[in-house]
């Protein structure tokens, strides 16, 4: 059956899969715990593969387990002698990424009375943690290993959805930062839009970010005080990528950055006052949203979708092939959650915004061979990316002749959680307030430098691990939040951060030589305000130090904090070639009619190394350009 979407008044959400996957429609700030109680399934199963046998027997009661997804969570399971009757999740998972899994998975497990149900697309870490927590609780309730194995075979069987064909003025593939910027811009131009997203919510990688967005409001008091300018931002971006970025694209990014911030504000997004230097950002020009991580962007985009006609969100649907007719890209063929075919066609243009390939290990290893920059990018190296970032759009575009550029340019950060690779648990607030030390208690790199230089420095350290070390100036009370909405007190309680009243005590907790750590901090402090080397560059080339009246002399005010970090794949700078109009270029140097691209799926903007804070700028600037271009395109 064909379901044609032609009216500009429609804003229906198509739930292609269990409605339970979309039960969480509101965003919850990560700084506040959200307990999800699901004692009844959201949707009754069509069929259960098999009922539990005599191997399933529990000791009635309520049991709890602490596990880690993107953040630490507590799974509490209540059982009778033969059934799982309730599952509660007390969590701080990111709204729009891990948070939906905390609602839908308990419902599915209870409905199936089994553990063979599917995890939530795009929320692998959270899904795995929930499954682990439930297993732990059931073992506490007396379930044998054989019983666990039995439950792993029991799943929900869903009725296959009918094939569908959707039509709108503009089709956007990907509901991350770039895709939603494009969708909103196209809708503001009076166009109907269909957005295809393989996860269960909008968000992509943007929602997992620290939220920092680089932009210079040239002529403002802040820019003048920081001696910053659009030209300075351009030079640092271009030179920071070793001159490999296309100068036209770099100018397009930088010249339109501040108007992107003003556009977000016009949609209702709020930013904190002032600017800061994000890791690898090279200068204090990053704007911090009021909401933690990247949730503010999607609260803003979701609010727009809810209050305007004409944007249809299609979730749990994976784009497979671009549709080309008479040399023009007119749509995309997709696979729905139940294996059904979904075709989305555009009367105007198509926007590709599917992200990079940070989670595709095969692609990472293959393209790392081009530059051989990193010792390895195999499965031993984690990633900050959401599980759905697997290069789908790059593969689809290449299949129709799109030119791929700079695919060997892959960025790692030295800031990954040692267990998950995520940026959560990072105790820093800004570059100026912390140092990096290795397992011997010594600094080893310019912590205010380029991301690739910091990470290569980390690869050379013992066990490829380091500690971030800072004092209490950023956390004077202990209940303050980091850039990811986590309180320092919770991180310490969970063992993800260390706290001590003296540097010697901190060194003991870190298991590093106390004399080394103390000497390292004393040497660093000499370059900060009030130190005898104030204003000078230290031996590692660092020029960014704490130097305000409120925060002075570097790291000297206890209690002191530390947190272990490892290398993690963060951003893939290579991808589909575009021009300044966000039009995709083919291998012959010609524009592919009807196809536009924005965000991490594209290449040629950031060169060998992306400045911290420029990725979110990229999503907004080129997302808006792509949305406008697709709206204006005519066949």
pLDDT in tens, 431-469: 888 999 999 999 999 999 999 999 999 999 999 999 999
When pLDDT is cut at 50, 70 and 90, the band that residue 54 belongs to is low
Model confidence at 26: pLDDT above 60: no
Can you tell me the distance from the alpha carbon of 356 to that of 406, in angstroms, rounded to the nearest whole number? 12
Rounded Cα distance between 272 and 266, Å, is 15
Euclidean distance between CA atoms 71 and 419, whole angstroms: 11
Residues paired with residue 73 on neighbouring β-strands, in sequence order: 67
| pTM score, whole prediction | 0.82
Which range (182-186, 479-483, 605-609) has the least confidence? Answer: 479-483
CA 173, distance to chain mean position in Å, is 17
Query: What confidence score (pLDDT) does residue 483 get?
Result: 80
Distance CA 91, CA 76 (A): 11
pLDDT of residue 34: 38
Can you tell me which residue has the tokens 């959401």? 386
DSSP, res 348: S
Phi, psi of 45 (to 5 degrees): -70, 150
pLDDT digits (tens, 9 = 90+) for 350-374: 999 999 999 999 999 999 999 999 9
Which segment, 57-61, 383-387, 619-623, is predicted with the most confidence on average? 619-623
Q: How much of the chain exceeds pLDDT 70, in percent?
A: 90
CB atoms within 10 A of CB 44: 9
Once rounded to an integer, what is the mean pLDDT over residues 126-151?
92
CA distance 573 to 237: 13
Asked whether residue 71 carries a pLDDT value surpassing 90, the answer given is no
| Max Cα distance, the chain (Å) | 77
140-175 tens-digit pLDDT: 999 999 999 999 998 887 788 899 999 999 999 999
Q: Using the predicted structure, report yes or no on whether residue 32 has a pLDDT greater than 50.
A: no
According to DSSP, the β-strands at 498-500 and 575-577 are unpaired
Q: Are 168 and 155 in contact (CB under 8 A)?
A: no
Cα(487)–Cα(499) distance, integer angstroms: 13
524 with 435: CB under 8 angstroms?
A: yes
- Please give the positions annotated as active site: 451
- Output the pLDDT for position 42: 32
Measured between alpha carbons, how far is residue 610 from residues 45, 264, 373, 453, 455 in Å?
A: 46, 22, 15, 12, 13
**How confident is residue 46, by pLDDT bands cut at 50, 70 and 90?**
very low
- CA atoms of 2 and 17, how far apart (whole Å): 17
Taking only the tens place, the pLDDT of each residue in 325-359 is 999 999 999 999 889 999 999 999 999 999 999 99
Decide if pLDDT at 219 tops 70. yes
- Local confidence band at 377 (pLDDT 50, 70, 90 cut-offs): very high
Q: To the nearest whole number, what is the mean pLDDT of the chain?
A: 89
The confidence score (pLDDT) of residue 156 equals 81
Please name the residues in contact with 273: beta carbons below 8 A apart, sequence gap of 6 or more.
none
pLDDT at 200: 86
More confidently predicted of 4 and 618 = 618
Per-residue confidence at 549, pLDDT binned at 50, 70, 90? low
pLDDT bin (cut points 50, 70, 90) of residue 37 is: very low
Q: What is the mean pLDDT of residues 547-574?
A: 86
Between 293 and 313, the higher pLDDT residue: 313
Q: What pLDDT digit, counting tens, does each position of 486-515 carry?
A: 899 999 998 999 999 999 999 999 999 999
State the DSSP H helix or E strand holding residue 77, giving kind and residue range, or none if neither. Answer: strand 72-79
């Amino acid at each position: 059956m064909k379901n044609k979407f032609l009216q500009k008044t429609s804003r229906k959400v198509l739930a292609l899969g269990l409605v339970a996957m979309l039960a969480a429609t509101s965003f919850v700030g990560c700084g506040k715990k959200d307990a999800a109680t699901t004692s009844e399934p959201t949707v009754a199963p069509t069929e259960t593969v098999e009922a539990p046998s005599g191997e399933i027997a529990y000791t009635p009661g309520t049991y709890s387990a602490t596990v880690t997804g993107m953040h630490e969570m507590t799974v509490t399971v209540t059982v009778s002698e033969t059934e799982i009757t309730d599952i509660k999740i007390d969590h701080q998972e990111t709204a729009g990424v891990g948070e939906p899994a905390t609602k839908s998975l308990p419902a599915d497990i209870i409905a199936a009375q089994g553990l063979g149900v599917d995890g939530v697309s795009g929320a692998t870490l959270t899904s795995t943690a929930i499954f682990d927590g439930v297993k732990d609780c059931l073992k506490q309730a007396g379930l044998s290993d054989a019983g666990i194995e039995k439950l792993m075979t029991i799943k929900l069987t869903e009725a296959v959805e009918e094939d569908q064909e959707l039509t709108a003025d503009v089709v956007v593939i990907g509901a991350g930062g770039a895709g939603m910027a494009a969708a909103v811009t196209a809708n503001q131009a009076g166009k109907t839009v269909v957005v295809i997203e393989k996860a269960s919510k909008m968000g992509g990688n943007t929602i997992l970010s620290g939220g920092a967005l680089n932009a210079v409001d040239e002529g403002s008091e802040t820019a003048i005080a920081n001696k910053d300018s659009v030209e300075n931002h351009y030079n640092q971006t271009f030179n920071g990528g070793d001159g490999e970025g296309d100068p036209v694209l770099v100018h397009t990014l930088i010249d339109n950055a501040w108007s992107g911030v003003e556009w977000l504000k016009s949609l209702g997004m709020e930013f904190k006052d002032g600017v800061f230097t994000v890791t690898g950002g090279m200068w204090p020009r990053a704007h911090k949203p009021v909401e933690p991580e990247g949730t503010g962007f999607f609260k803003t985009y979701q609010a727009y979708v809810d209050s305007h006609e004409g944007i249809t969100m299609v979730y749990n649907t994976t784009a497979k092939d671009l549709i080309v007719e008479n040399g023009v890209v007119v749509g995309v063929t997709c696979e729905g959650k139940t294996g059904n075919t979904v075709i989305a066609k555009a009367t105007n243009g198509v926007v590709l915004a599917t992200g990079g390939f940070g989670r595709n290990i095969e692609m990472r290893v293959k393209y790392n061979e081009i530059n051989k920059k990193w010792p390895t990018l195999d499965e031993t190296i984690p990633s900050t990316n959401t599980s759905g970032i697997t290069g789908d759009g790059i593969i689809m575009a290449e299949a129709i002749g799109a030119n791929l550029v700079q695919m060997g340019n892959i960025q790692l950060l030295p800031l990954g959680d040692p267990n998950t690779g995520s940026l959560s648990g990072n105790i820093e607030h800004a570059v100026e307030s912390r140092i990096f030390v290795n397992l011997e208690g010594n600094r080893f790199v310019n912590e205010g430098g380029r991301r690739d230089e910091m990470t290569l420095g980390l690869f050379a350290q013992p066990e490829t691990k380091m500690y971030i070390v800072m004092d209490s100036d950023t956390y004077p009370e202990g209940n303050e939040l980091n850039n990811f909405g986590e309180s320092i007190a919770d991180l310490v309680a969970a063992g993800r951060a260390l706290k001590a009243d003296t540097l010697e005590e901190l060194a003991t907790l870190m298991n590093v030589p106390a004399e080394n750590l103390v000497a390292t901090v004393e040497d660093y402090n000499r370059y900060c305000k009030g130190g005898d080397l104030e204003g000078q560059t230290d031996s590692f080339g660092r020029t960014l130090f704490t130097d305000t009246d409120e925060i002075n002399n570097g790291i000297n005010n206890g209690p002191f904090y530390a947190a272990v970090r490892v290398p993690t794949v963060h951003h893939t700078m290579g991808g589909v070639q575009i021009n300044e109009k966000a039009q995709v270029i083919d291998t012959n140097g010609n524009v592919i009619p009807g196809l536009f691209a924005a965000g991490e799926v594209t290449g040629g903007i950031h060169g060998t190394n992306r400045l911290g804070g420029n990725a979110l700028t990229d999503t907004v600037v080129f997302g808006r350009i792509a949305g406008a271009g697709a709206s204006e395109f005519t066949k």
